Chain A
């Protein structure tokens, strides 16, 4: 996903994608981030224990923790609620 997004939207994207263990390159490609900002976002999520790092062979993988579920659910409900309230756009 590319384009102008808020930090919260990027956190959500990373956490949902990391439901299955993912590599750093996979995450930055999927979320359209550069390495520097990718490191910052992953660093923050790991510090808050929403993401954990595992070693598979000689590769590092990142996966969401159980704590991420609450944030993902809240985010989904807030964004979908945008369409429950008026006004809506129609022809």
Chain B
């Protein structure tokens, strides 16, 4: 078995696993942000109708927050499917690594086939989730924007827009600045996640093309015509 092939495959699987974990974490964060703003808005609506206090609430904010919650939930479900497959491949790859350390050189053929089997599984997993991974590129981007918008909305105390311009006041909470920094970091990290999904799909699309091209050779070897 060529060590370099094994190492490269192992690195790619590990890196994609990390991106998948990060993706699930951001999906959960988006859902939590959405839920937080929904609760705030519902409390405002309740207070407006039950007390004589002049509490402001915005149906637009409520719609954005509910949408963010739904996007977050959908994002978690689709990410989980991709994560499950890659986790199983990563575990089997870990077992193969242990086997490689403990076995003797004469088992090279067997290990070679085990590696090929995992490569075929990864290709198969990519074919199955091709659409989802492509969607993730856009969902992560949308998620990033939603986290940013929701974070901004949550920190605003007053906002008004007119034809002449707009004015706003941010809340007096001393924790606002650190929370804004964290929120921007999450939004950027989610954007980076989108870029990684794009890179991953570009690399694996290229591999699928290569496989299609080498099918002629396999067909000739099998002396067949599937035509």
Residues on A close to B: CB < 8 A?
1-9, 11-13, 16, 44, 48, 50, 70-72, 74-76, 78-80, 82-85, 87-91
Contacts and interface: CB of A to CB of B under 8 A. Distances in A.
B199 interface: yes
A11 B203 CA distance: 25
22 contacts: A3-B85, A3-B121, A5-B120, A5-B124, A48-B222, A48-B224, A70-B221, A71-B218, A75-B218, A76-B113, A78-B217, A78-B218, A80-B115, A84-B2, A84-B4, A88-B11, A88-B12, A89-B16, A89-B199, A89-B200, A89-B204, A90-B12
Contacts of B15: 89-91
Interface residues of B, number: 45
Contacts of B215: 6, 8
Interface of B: 2, 4-5, 8-9, 11-12, 15-16, 18-19, 85, 112-113, 115-117, 119-121, 123-125, 127-128, 196, 199-200, 202-204, 206-207, 210-211, 214-215, 217-219, 221-224, 226
A4 B226 CA distance: 18
A91 to B, nearest CB: 5
Contacts of A7: 226
A16 B117 CA distance: 10
Given A48-B223, A74-B217, A83-B5, 9 more contacts: A5-B127, A9-B123, A71-B222, A76-B116, A78-B211, A78-B218, A80-B115, A89-B200, A89-B203
A91 B127 contact: no
Contacts of B9: 83
A74 B218 contact: yes
B127 A3 contact: yes
Given A71-B221, A82-B210, A88 B124 contact: no
